[in-house]
Amino acid sequence: MLDQVKAIKRNSNFEVVVFKTNPLNSKEEDYDIDGVHVYSIRPLLMPSYILNGLTEGLVGKMFVRKLREVGIKPENVAFVHCHTASHAAFGFGVRKVNPKAKALIQFHDLDPYTLRNGKWAEKRWNIRYRAKKSLEAFERADLLISISTPVQDNLLAFPKARPEEIYPSYLARLEHLKDFPSLKSRKTYILYNGVDTSLFYPEIKKKHDYFTIGCIGNFQELKDHITLIKAFDILIKKGYTSMRLSLLGTGEMRTMCEEYICEHGLEEYVEWPKEVPHTELPDYYRSLDLFVLPSVYEGFGCVYTEAYACGVPFMGVYNQGAAEVIAPEERFKWLIQPHDHRQLAENIEKQYKEHGVQHLCRPYDIDELIKEYIEYLHKI
């Protein structure tokens, strides 16, 4: 989100003020990051998304009070850009005292109704309450912003899923909501995740001995690292021992991946780099020959286009967010069906032999995307 904030500041005449929500027991204070001041606030949001939306009125009032405390008149606020449904209360709170203000809600994954998040997310009463409050908020918002077409499709298909949706956890939640109405609002906009091309750009590659496949992502089931590891195993067994796999990330599925690598004798071919600061990510990408993240439930990870901006082609999965930016005639080279490690191995092998150039069909420069977004905002 930092890059988005900076791009809005660069490409508009808006004064951009950033607030970060923290738990009530958090001791985090305000801070500055890369020229952006961040106000730390502790609103009475429901913990772990339990009965999310219950405290909306109180949260809105607290936010208006906080604005005044830091010297911002709510009457001067034009837009409140709320990231995820849980923060919509901020926009509605400002709009109560300033009807001209616009409440915008942005969604970052394929679960815009936040049905899967938090403790007791599987409880039917919690799912139904949260879905009801989210639906009400979306109808009241002035604009609903998705980071890709698949995210928007799930938003508008509710209470069903988009036809291409396969993720069991999300589909299971929707089973409790079949009697819910669909979203009437069509005030939608797609703001693709963009890349700061002043930071992420290609450089002339130094020659190295190995063809390196890289992956950045938390080790979660939905990221499906194991499909990449199985594909890599096929390639090593075929004799491509000049390949290396670099896995950057942490998470609950990492141990299982480490065990698979050990059991299949892949340790000498796999690297585990330590966490890399955002400003050093470009150097990591540039060290790669190919970026692969076979996520099966992905709104639009920035990592795909960050790699591309650094001159590194990426591979992913059909019908996920990043898939739609690849030129249609090339998608068979760069995309696989979910969990298809054999096809992934074939695609990687072809890229190893041919060193094909990848082409995108949509802009990825964050400044270009934000300029279009700002122009749109002036029309609503």
User: What SS3 state is found at 38?
Assistant: strand
Write out the E strands in the chain.
18-21, 31-33, 36-41, 79-83, 102-107, 143-146, 188-190, 211-216, 243-248, 270-271, 290-292, 314-317, 335-336
What pLDDT score was predicted for residue 60? 86
pTM of the model: 0.93
Mean pLDDT estimate for the chain: 93
Q: What is the spatial distance between Cα 316 and Cα 251, in angstroms, rounded to a whole number?
A: 20
pLDDT tier for residue 225 given thresholds of 50, 70 and 90 = very high
Contacts (Cβ under 8 Å, ≥6 apart) of 25: none
Sign, CA dihedral 260-265-270-272, equals: positive
Which pair of tokens denotes residue 332?
């068979």
Contacts (Cβ under 8 Å, ≥6 apart) of 180: 128, 131, 132, 135, 158, 159
CA distances to 152, 200, 268 from 276, rounded to whole Å, are 31, 14, 22
The pairing of strands 18-21 and 36-41 is parallel
CA-wise closest residue to 20 among 90, 107, 108: 90
pLDDT tier for residue 254 given thresholds of 50, 70 and 90 = very high
What pLDDT score was predicted for residue 45? 65
pLDDT tops 80 at residue 235? yes
Can you tell me the mean pLDDT for 371-375? Answer: 97
What pLDDT score was predicted for residue 93? 95
Annotated domain spans of the chain: 2-194+367-377, 211-354
pLDDT tops 80 at residue 208? no
Contacts (Cβ under 8 Å, ≥6 apart) of 1: 83
Stretch (H or E) spanning 64: helix 56-69
CA distances to 20, 87, 181, 298 from 130, rounded to whole Å, are 22, 13, 14, 22
User: What letter would DSSP give residue 320?
Assistant: S
Can you tell me the mean pLDDT for 103-113? Answer: 96
pLDDT tops 70 at residue 94? yes
Same CATH topology for 2-194+367-377 and 211-354: the answer is yes
Q: What is the spatial distance between Cα 1 and Cα 236, in angstroms, rounded to a whole number?
A: 38
CA-wise closest residue to 307 among 378, 213, 206: 213
* pLDDT tens, position by position, 303-355: 999 999 999 999 999 999 999 999 999 999 999 999 999 999 999 999 999 99
pLDDT tops 80 at residue 280? yes
Q: What is the spatial distance between Cα 251 and Cα 222, in angstroms, rounded to a whole number?
A: 12
Can you tell me the mean pLDDT for 94-98? Answer: 96
User: What letter would DSSP give residue 11?
Assistant: T
pLDDT tier for residue 16 given thresholds of 50, 70 and 90 = very high
CA-wise closest residue to 155 among 169, 135, 172, 133: 135
Assign domain 2-194+367-377 to its CATH superfamily: Glycogen Phosphorylase B; (3.40.50.2000)
The CATH number of 211-354 is which of 3.40.50.2000, 1.10.580.10, 3.30.1380.10, 3.40.50.300? Answer: 3.40.50.2000
What pLDDT score was predicted for residue 73? 96
Distance of CA 123 to the CA centre of its chain: 25
What pLDDT score was predicted for residue 28? 87
Measured between alpha carbons, how far apart are the two ends of the chain, in Å?
A: 23
pLDDT tier for residue 25 given thresholds of 50, 70 and 90 = confident
What pLDDT score was predicted for residue 206? 67
* pLDDT tens, position by position, 131-186: 999 999 999 999 999 999 999 999 999 999 999 999 999 999 999 999 999 999 88
List the single range of 164-178, 206-220, 248-262, 364-378 with lowest mean pLDDT: 206-220
What pLDDT score was predicted for residue 273? 95
Query: How many CB atoms neighbour CB 305 within 10 A?
Result: 26
* pLDDT tens, position by position, 30-88: 999 988 999 998 876 655 555 556 667 788 898 999 999 999 999 999 999 999 888 89
What pLDDT score was predicted for residue 51? 58
